[in-house]
Structure 1
Amino acid sequence: YTGPGSNGRGWLFKITGDAGGVSNRMDWRANETTPQATALADDRWHMVTVVIDQAVKRLTVYIDGVSYLQAAKPASFDLNTLKGPLWDSKNDYPFTIWEDGSGKYNSGDDTRKNLAGLIDNVRIYKKALTPAEVSGLYVID
């Protein structure tokens, strides 16, 4: 993301559980690096994989097939603050890419047009991928 207060390109994953504002958020600037992950702001293609494991209520981010690690921002975060599953017959939490669920992002307001890049391939699986499966996808893609 780019835009007011973002300090440059980066990524934001936010899961909001209900209208009361219960949410989890993980974000970082794209030029941050760790020994486990290269900077994303290098004008090269990168594979970013987000795995949500409902069994253990955990979201994990992988960059180029490797779990993203940083001392201040863990590779995974706990989804136990959500009052229920991410989807069930009663709640339909929005799944959006480069939108905040309200439709406000990228809706003509130039301060919200915050995608500074391209998306090439999106896949959604019915199961949580294992670390080996994520690594394997990076090797073949």
Structure 2
Amino acid sequence: MSYPQYGPEGHQYPAPAGPTYAAPPPAGNQLPVTTLVLGVVCLLLLVLAGTGLGLYVNERRRHNATEALLRDRDAAITETERRATDLDARLKNTEDQLSEVTGERDALLPCMRRAQEIFDALRRDDDDDLGTALEMAITACAEAEDAVDS
């Protein structure tokens, strides 16, 4: 392109300069080193973020599973405690009944022994022992009846 000439003949002014660059523009597919480093750092941050998210999701899943397991165990413990309380009450009731039956047995035992003495006297055909055994049996059985009825 030619520019009109102003000024003295034969003098040429320099052509207007285009934009100036501090560094030459990249040629072809070449990337500047800073862009490459920034890309690698971004990629590493992305990988770390993905790994962190994966670890968080995995730990959250394990946490939820552990909570569910603990809830099930708490329910089982509560049920076991309830059953243990019921069994304790039944045991106490059974012990009370056993104590009562044992007391009645102990009260009736002298009466039964005196009745056995009556049968022994009858078998031996001993009237003296029979009379004594009857008197003792009447007394022992009256005491047993009082003890059982009270």
TM range (shorter): under 0.3
TM-score w.r.t. the length of structure 2 is 0.17
Compare the two structures and name the one with the higher strand fraction: 1
Bigger share in helix: 2
Greater Rg over alpha carbons, structure: 2
- The answer to which structure, 1 or 2, has the higher relative contact order (CA under 8 A, 6+ apart) is 1
TM-score, normalised via structure 1 length: 0.17
